[in-house]
């Protein structure tokens, strides 16, 4: 059987998703996965010698997906609850900082107050980190990284948080 559909780029899929009608908010639906859960998973991953890029993908990007799913089911107030419990230390300050950066980024974008744990000084890096950003895109990351990430020493491109 031959595929006869249309292959869309991630940008085209995102554009279509954003132009779709708003999802109805379903009341009584709780938070299923939290940043704290995903940080604990990252801690376990790092204990098995996983790479930081794997932790970025299975911790930070998974938390972004969990937040997005929660917002679709219950609105931004429920989505903010994904970040209520402070994520435990993962064993790597870069990942710990990224959880705080993601919470602040989403809070600013969606209009809710970030939790107090995001301002803990241990969640700010002294050095630059480019998670899953190839060297050829580092100048772009330096210019495009959202302030919530750049202020913590984390530099990403506009595409780094793009999800299909």
pLDDT at 1 over 70: no
Please tell me the distance from the alpha carbon of residue 131 to that of residue 82, in angstroms, as a whole number.
22
**63 and 35 Cβ atoms separated by less than 8 Å:** yes
Dump the DSSP string for 109-157: HHT-PPPGGGG-GGGS-SS-B-TT--GGGHHHHHHH--HHHHTTTB---
Instruction: Give the residue extent of every domain in the chain.
Output: 33-161
User: What is the per-residue pLDDT for 5?
Assistant: 67
User: What is the per-residue pLDDT for 6?
Assistant: 73
User: What is the per-residue pLDDT for 92?
Assistant: 96
pTM for this model (two decimals)? 0.82
* Spatial CA neighbour of 99 closest among 74, 125, 76: 125
Please tell me the distance from the alpha carbon of residue 142 to that of residue 67, in angstroms, as a whole number.
26
Residue 4 — very low, low, confident or very high, per pLDDT cuts 50/70/90? low
User: What is the per-residue pLDDT for 13?
Assistant: 72
Instruction: Express each pLDDT in 74-115 by its tens digit.
Output: 999 999 999 999 999 999 999 999 999 999 999 999 999 999
What's the sign of the alpha-carbon dihedral 151, 152, 157, 160?
negative
Instruction: Express each pLDDT in 10-62 by its tens digit.
Output: 887 777 777 766 655 455 568 889 999 999 999 999 999 889 999 999 999 99
Alpha helices in the chain (DSSP H): 10-19, 35-47, 52-55, 62-74, 76-80, 93-110, 138-144, 147-150
Q: Choose between 111 and 1: higher pLDDT.
A: 111
Please tell me the distance from the alpha carbon of residue 43 to that of residue 148, in angstroms, as a whole number.
23
User: What is the per-residue pLDDT for 21?
Assistant: 62
pLDDT at 147 over 70: yes
In whole angstroms, what separates CA 86 from the centre of its chain?
Answer: 15
User: What is the per-residue pLDDT for 79?
Assistant: 95
């Amino acid at each position: 059987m031959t595929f006869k559909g249309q292959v869309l780029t991630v940008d085209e899929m995102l554009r279509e998703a954003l132009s779709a009608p708003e999802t109805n908010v379903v009341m009584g639906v709780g938070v299923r996965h939290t940043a704290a859960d995903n940080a604990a998973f990252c801690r376990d991953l790092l204990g098995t010698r996983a790479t930081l890029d794997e932790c970025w993908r299975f911790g930070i990007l998974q938390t972004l997906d969990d937040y997005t799913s929660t917002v679709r089911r219950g609105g931004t107030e429920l989505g903010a609850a994904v970040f209520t419990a402070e994520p435990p230390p993962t064993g790597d300050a870069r990942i710990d900082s990224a959880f705080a950066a993601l919470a602040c980024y989403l809070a600013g974008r969606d209009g809710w107050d970030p939790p107090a744990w995001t301002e803990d000084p241990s969640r700010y890096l002294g050095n630059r980190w480019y998670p899953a950003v190839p060297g050829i895109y580092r100048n772009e990351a330096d210019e495009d990284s959202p302030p919530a990430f750049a202020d913590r020493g984390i530099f990403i491109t506009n595409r780094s948080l793009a999800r299909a």
